[in-house]
Amino acid sequence: MTTEAAASTAEKPWPVRTVARKIGDWIHRLGAVWVEGQVTQISSRPNTQTAFLTLRDPSADVSMSVTCPNWLIREMEPPLREGASVVVHAKPSYFFGRGTISLRADQIRAVGIGELLARIERLRKLLAAEGLFSPQRKRPIPFLPKGVGLITGRASAAERDVLVNAQARWPHVQFKVINTAVQGSQAVPQVMRALRILDADPDIDVIVIARGGGSVEDLLPFSDEALCRAVSAAGTPVVSAIGHEPDSPLLDHVADLRCSTPTDASKRIVPDVREETERVRQMRDRGRRALHGWVDTQARLLNQIRSRPSLADPLGPIQRRQDDVDVHRERGRRAMLTLLAKDQAEISSARARLTALGPAATLARGYAVVQFVDAEGNLQVLRSVSEVEAGAQLRVRVGDGAIKAVAEGAQE
């Protein structure tokens, strides 16, 4: 102990200034420290350079004042609110005149649930901006997968819920289970490795990542950015069944199907054999009724068609058409015979006129046809004796057709 300290007695007490100075010296030697607490009061005005906080220990009724630059409060994401738990990097300051202690902060970080939620929220916004949550990217879950991959903790309630409920719904469903850590530092790499194995298996049609409920810290691996991107890049549809209904890690938004619980996942990945059997029976009954109704309708249509005159007496129209053909054929024959008789009469009349006017008829009546050669040497029919010159040569056609030449001149 120093001499000055030893001199502090009832008879020689220290002045207030000495005590304040010694306390200030000791506090200043402490240097910058990290302090955790709960914000109970915030005073940050836009036109001031300094903001004031009150930091309280939630486990004890102890609080301290904190000062910091105003921009430090404005740049915090999400915004700092009263009741938030924070970690402050600050240097203790002792105000000599008032004898009070405060912390001068240069860093403020949300911690505990606040820090985890803030970190998850920032990642949520990033992944959403990149389109990893888009509904258009979601792949449909097969109606009846030939194989289901399950990633979950060893001997966990989530594993039991998925297997028991799925096999109760569809006894022939085939599972390939890979047990991994589902919390802690090894959870993310193990889940990603199991995801790669199942995604490369051609017999796996859907992958389920399941875990029971837990705190935000326990479910933090399922909001890891690397895992979310691996699920988004997987070629096999992925079902997220993490925690309970209120829990919503980022994996729920990236997965192709989000289930509230592992039990819900078992109901979504395979159909219920009883329900499907009943649905098949109902569809069979509906099909039978529809077929019977169709057959009855077609039978009525056939009966209506058969009752039509054309089908009731199919030969009647043909017979009537045959009679019409016979009538028209007879009319045609009679018309043709009439036309031929008329033409024959006209030919006979023309022949008679021609015969009457021809030389053959004249000869047949006992007359002769006399021809002579005119002065120009042309053979002409003699119609009058005056037409022939004396000494002209005549040719006479007699009744039997013989031709005699007459050398002497014409006689009256």
Mean pLDDT along residues 274-279: 90
More confident residue, 40 or 331: 331
Query: For every residue of 54-80, which 3-state class applies, written as one string?
Result: EEEECCCCEEEEEEEEHHHHHCCCCCC
More confident residue, 291 or 402: 291
Cα 207 from Cα 256, distance rounded (Å) = 10
Q: What is the DSSP string of 314-379?
A: THHHHHHHHHHHHHHHHHHHHHHHHHHHHHHHHHHHHHHHHHHHSHHHHHHTT--EEEEE-TTS-E
pLDDT of residue 406: 45
Q: Could you tell me if residue 263 is left (phi over 0), alpha (psi between -120 and 50 degrees) or otherwise beta?
A: alpha
DSSP code of residue 136? G
Mean pLDDT along residues 122-129: 90
pLDDT at 297 over 90: yes
User: For residue 310, what pLDDT band results from cuts at 50, 70 and 90?
Assistant: confident
Mean pLDDT along residues 60-83: 82
Residue 292: count other Cβ atoms within 10 Å of its Cβ: 10
More confident residue, 383 or 243: 243
User: For residue 43, what pLDDT band results from cuts at 50, 70 and 90?
Assistant: confident
User: For residue 4, what pLDDT band results from cuts at 50, 70 and 90?
Assistant: very low
pLDDT at 59 over 60: no
pLDDT at 181 over 60: yes
H or E element at residue 127: helix 112-129
pTM: 0.50
User: For residue 412, what pLDDT band results from cuts at 50, 70 and 90?
Assistant: very low
Mean pLDDT along residues 210-225: 81
User: For residue 110, what pLDDT band results from cuts at 50, 70 and 90?
Assistant: confident
pLDDT of residue 3: 42
Write down the mean pLDDT value for the chain: 83
pLDDT of residue 2: 45
φ, ψ dihedrals at 276, nearest 5°? -70, -35
Query: Residue 124 has which token pair?
Result: 């949520």
Residue 247's Cα: distance from chain center in Å?
Answer: 31
More confident residue, 216 or 36: 36
Mean pLDDT along residues 160-167: 91
pLDDT at 397 over 70: no
pLDDT of residue 84: 72
pLDDT at 402 over 60: no
Cα 211 from Cα 175, distance rounded (Å) = 16
Least-confidence region, from 178-182, 214-218, 406-410: 406-410
Sheet containing 394-397: order of strands:
379-381, 369-373, 394-397, 403-406
Closest by Cα among 180, 135, 142, 185 to 159: 180
Strand 100-110 to 85-95 pairing: antiparallel
pLDDT at 74 over 70: yes
